[in-house]
Amino acid sequence: MKNVDKTTHFLDDSNHESNIPREDNSGTAKLKETITPRRLPFWKRCIDIFISLTYIAVVFPLIFLVVGLVIKIVSPRGPILFKERRVGVGGKLFNCLKFRTTHLSDNPAIHGAHVKNLMDTDAPLVNLEDHPRIIPFGKMLRATGIDYLPQLFNVLRGDMSIVGPRPCYTYEKEKYLSWYHERFDVPPGLTGLWQVSGKYRLTFQQMMRLDISYVRNMSLWLDIKIILKTPLAVLWDWNAVRKEMIGMQSDSSISNPEGEMATRITRDFKKDLSGVFISYCHSDRKLAKTILDRLFHNNISVWARDADLKGNYYVNLDDSIEQAINNASYLILLLTPSSIKSSWVRHEWQLVLEKSWENPKKKILPILFADVAAPAFLLDRPILKCKSLEYVDNILLDSLVRIISSHAGTVDDQLELLSFEPNIIKSRFDELFQSAEEINKLGAWDIENA
């Protein structure tokens, strides 16, 4: 196994290159020399065999019949299943099975160019769903993950595993940076950390970090968590496609599966450059959600850090926060007893302040809860006040919506100026002058004691 420092590994491509044996990108033969696949734990193979055998024996025949029939009806030319060359464990190529969701005349170069574009721009990994190459119902098969089910045969053969990194295309691998190759240490998976952490809403780099994070932290418990989370992730994907198909607008009143809040928020802030960023402490997430829901309900897009993303899977949260602040017109700061003590929140304030200095059009909207002393940088600024942490009243929410909807650049009736005590400044500066005197005495100490 390669011995590479974890932290630098994720942060700097140049460092990875210096730490990891270099490969040219010529292909598998070269890669085999540098990657020694990890010996897989016994429990993993047991899970793979058990799940794949059960599915193949019980569910697959029925699915094959129904899906096969549908594919043959909507696209009679071509097979039901098709084989695709993918890169497996240790860089070995294998034939990956899938239900056919594209027309037979599909040109792989189109997908290759799309993948290259995603890698270069590091944009969210959107599928080429609207491309004419997709057969009718193909989009649905993809969103529900049914097209992947034949890969259970690959799992049974040992080419793949139930949980693992996303199987990579051969042309995709050619463009890999050297540190990406760590994902070939384990077999690719039917599902994985990327699939349950946002999938197509994440960027290529984020996918790589998640896949490598999985390789490094692989455990029985992590596999179980991913397997359990997969149906929810599939449900969300399917739900998104369904909404798109029937032209539904997002409605915050629909009950959300776990993680949907983060998902929707991330997606919204990407497409809307005049959104809202909300900074809150993890323990105040319920409160933040109340505010988010109200803003969503009024078609105001919001980005907020979700605790699930924080730190767990090496998603570079700092970058996404900075991007969100850059994109937002309004920066809401929830000032609660917990948030003012949180060093992470303070870090967000710092970024918010810097961005508001760079672009004065960005408005800081602090919401102060009772019994909280406002931090110094908010003194003399308009602020929204709330009586208690438990009860965010409609007046506050309405005024928040009104300010943001109208892009009010002036002080609103609902906003109060946080008064500051000039005496505090006076006494601090008195202290500064006295300190200066004390410091000057330090220098004179040896003369006095000579």
Partner 1 sequence: MPSPTTELRREHSVFINCPFDKYYEPLLDCIFFSTICCGFVPRSSKENETVSEFRINKIKSAIFHSKYSIHELSICRGEGEENLARFNMPLELGICIGQSRNDTEKSVCHEWLGLVPKGHIFKKFISDLSGFDPKEHDCTPESIVPAVVSWLITRPEAIKTLTPKDILFLLETFTKQKTKLSEEWNGQPLWGDLIKCAATIVKPNLATSEDRF
Is residue 329 at the binding interface for partner 1, with CB under 8 A as the rule? Answer: no
Stretch that binds partner 1, among 150-158, 179-187, 207-215, 436-444 (CB under 8 A): 436-444
Nearest-approach distance from CB 450 to partner 1, in angstroms:
8
Residue whose C-alpha is closest to residue 339's, from 383, 280, 297: 280
Is residue 310 at the binding interface for partner 1, with CB under 8 A as the rule? Answer: no
Residue 14 or 406: the one with the smaller Cβ distance to partner 1 is 14
Is residue 3 at the binding interface for partner 1, with CB under 8 A as the rule? Answer: no
* Member of 58, 62, 249, 443 binding partner 1 (CB under 8 A): 443
Is residue 413 at the binding interface for partner 1, with CB under 8 A as the rule? Answer: no
Stretch that binds partner 1, among 9-17, 75-83, 141-149, 256-264 (CB under 8 A): 9-17
Nearest-approach distance from CB 340 to partner 1, in angstroms:
7
Stretch that binds partner 1, among 145-153, 200-208, 395-403, 435-443 (CB under 8 A): 435-443
The burial class, CB within 10 Å (0-12 / 13-18 / 19+), for 92 is middle
| Alpha-carbon gap, residue 107 to 331, rounded angstroms | 45
Is the distance from CB of 33 to CB of 122 less than 8 angstroms? no
Nearest-approach distance from CB 194 to partner 1, in angstroms:
22
Q: How many residues does the chain have?
A: 450
Residue 198 or 366: the one with the smaller Cβ distance to partner 1 is 366
* Member of 22, 26, 371, 433 binding partner 1 (CB under 8 A): 433
Distance from chain centroid for Cα 279: 17
Is the distance from CB of 277 to CB of 328 less than 8 angstroms? yes
Is residue 425 at the binding interface for partner 1, with CB under 8 A as the rule? Answer: yes
Q: Find the binding residues for partner 1 in span 381-400 (CB under 8 A).
A: 381-382
Is the four-CA dihedral 142, 157, 209, 13 of positive or negative sign? negative
Q: Find the binding residues for partner 1 in span 365-384 (CB under 8 A).
A: 375-377, 379-382
Stretch that binds partner 1, among 72-80, 97-105, 245-253, 418-426 (CB under 8 A): 418-426
- Render 396-414 in DSSP notation, one character per residue: HHHHHHHHHHTT--S--TT
| Alpha-carbon gap, residue 364 to 351, rounded angstroms | 12
Is residue 435 at the binding interface for partner 1, with CB under 8 A as the rule? Answer: yes
- Give the residue carrying structure tokens 């119902």: 137
Stretch that binds partner 1, among 32-40, 282-290, 345-353, 396-404 (CB under 8 A): 345-353
- Rg (the chain; Cα; Å): 27
DSSP 8-state symbol, 166: P
| Alpha-carbon gap, residue 63 to 60, rounded angstroms | 5
Crossing angle of helices 60-74 and 42-58, in 10° steps, is: 60
Stretch that binds partner 1, among 91-99, 119-127, 159-167, 343-351 (CB under 8 A): 343-351
382: amino acid identity, one letter: P
Is residue 122 at the binding interface for partner 1, with CB under 8 A as the rule? Answer: no
| Alpha-carbon gap, residue 300 to 83, rounded angstroms | 44
Task: Tell me how far CA of residue 32 lies from CA of 26, 91, 95, 122, in angstroms.
Answer: 11, 6, 18, 27
> Which residues sit at the interface with partner 1, rule CB under 8 A?
5, 7-8, 11-12, 14-15, 318, 340, 343, 346-347, 349-351, 353-354, 357, 363, 375-377, 379-382, 411, 417, 420, 422, 424-425, 428-429, 431-443, 445-446, 449
